């Protein structure tokens, strides 16, 4: 019996016995193929207008469903607006696409409990997003006082089993930008879950070991991005300022990246895929006041596979990409499959549209894993 496969390109051994009986991993000549239940993206920015039309196919070609972020201009603050936004997404999907957008509401100081009830009845809205005012792109309409102005809404969300998706950073300018997630956990998130233990909370795009420890210490969950698994804050400055590696929450020290990788590849059910893919036109990234956001939709699955392979944990990849998210949200797992083939491919330098270019994560670099539908 073959117990391991030696891959010529990296002389890498991976223990095949982890997959025996599951028909998940197989060798085809010098290539390795991995079969996964089709993943979902539990944190995605699709934008609107021409930008939406340009980028939606990259997500729809890989993911079955996606939690779509509501930080448009104006933000998606009502169920009616969420329904309209969903229709605009469906209209520009590729022909024969089965991609399903799962909509969210943008929490404000003025959101009402009645709106939460409407959202639950809609079967269209699946969560509510908390942006502290000023924390990130289009967050100026976000919450200014969570406990003082939003407590009745949060109580109704708990009653309706509606998850709260949290951008976990304080916006106090006196707090160092690299410490804002840690301070948010201590001053906002821990008091919140203690006050409303029945409220389902997802800490989005976690970036620190502090967030890992928080999630592991309670019943909450977290999404994790490719950039926070593969890059640290040095990636912002190596070879000059790198605007296409700038996102919020900002990349952190290597010790934090390592802690997130260890948590995600451990097999814990509390962590699941959320790309935070955030497209901006090139001219809006490469400018004196560049926008925050990394466009990773075309490469996300390839990068997640790299992370798990490097950790010797490919047998845990499917749970992270395809099981933990729907299980947390109480949704059925997808039944379709995708194939990940270990064959080199080059990431395009850019994607060109009538409105301008978008630079993807790892532009121009060669990746080892390539996804395809079965």
Residues with active-site annotation: 43, 45, 129, 167, 205, 276
Residue 340 burial by CB count (10 A; 0-12/13-18/19+): exposed, middle or buried? buried
* Kind of pairing between the strands at 25-28 and 31-37: antiparallel
Cβ burial, residue 204 (10 Å; 0-12/13-18/19+): buried
Q: Are 79 and 42 in contact (CB under 8 A)?
A: no
Q: Do residues 39 and 297 touch, judged by C-beta distance below 8 A?
A: no
Q: What are the DSSP calls for 266-298, one per residue?
A: TT-TTEEE---B----HHHHSSTTPPP--B-TT
- DSSP type of residue 205: S
Neighbours of 179 (CB within 10 A): 14
Element (H, E) at 175: none
């Amino acid at each position: 019996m073959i117990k391991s496969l030696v891959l010529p390109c990296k002389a890498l051994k991976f223990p095949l016995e982890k997959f025996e009986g599951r028909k998940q991993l197989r060798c085809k000549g010098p290539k390795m193929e991995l079969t996964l239940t089709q993943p979902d993206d539990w944190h995605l920015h699709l934008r609107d207008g021409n930008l939406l039309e340009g980028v939606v196919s990259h997500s729809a070609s890989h993911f079955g469903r996606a939690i779509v972020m509501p930080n448009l201009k104006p933000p998606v603050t009502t169920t009616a607006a969420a329904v309209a936004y969903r229709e605009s997404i469906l209209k520009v999907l590729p022909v024969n696409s089965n991609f399903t957008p799962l909509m969210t509401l943008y929490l404000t100081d003025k959101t009402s409990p009645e709106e939460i009830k409407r959202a639950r009845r809609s079967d269209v809205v699946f969560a509510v997003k908390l942006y502290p005012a000023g924390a990130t792109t289009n967050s100026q309409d976000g919450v200014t006082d969570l406990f003082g102005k939003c407590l009745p809404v949060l109580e109704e969300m708990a009653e309706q089993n509606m998850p709260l998706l949290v951008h976990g950073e304080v916006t106090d300018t006196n707090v160092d930008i690299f410490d804002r997630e840690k301070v948010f956990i201590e001053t906002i998130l821990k008091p919140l879950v203690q006050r409303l233990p029945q409220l389902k909370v997802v800490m989005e795009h976690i970036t620190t070991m502090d967030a890992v420890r928080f999630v592991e210490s309670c019943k909450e969950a977290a999404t994790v991005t490719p950039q926070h698994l593969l890059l640290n804050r040095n990636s912002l400055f190596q070879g000059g300022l790198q605007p296409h590696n700038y996102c919020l929450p900002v990349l952190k020290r290597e010790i934090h990246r390592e802690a997130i990788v260890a948590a995600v590849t451990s097999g814990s059910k509390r962590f699941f895929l959320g790309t935070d893919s955030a497209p901006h036109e090139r001219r809006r990234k490469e400018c004196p006041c560049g926008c925050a956001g990394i466009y990773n939709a075309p490469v996300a699955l390839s990068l997640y596979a790299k992370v798990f392979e490097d950790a010797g944990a490919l047998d845990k990849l499917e749970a992270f990409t395809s099981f933990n998210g729907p299980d947390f949200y109480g949704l059925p797992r997808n039944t379709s499959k995708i194939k990940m083939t270990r064959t080199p491919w080059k990431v395009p330098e850019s994607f060109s549209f009538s409105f301008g270019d978008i630079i993807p994560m790892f532009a121009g670099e060669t990746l080892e894993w390539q996804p395809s539908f079965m």
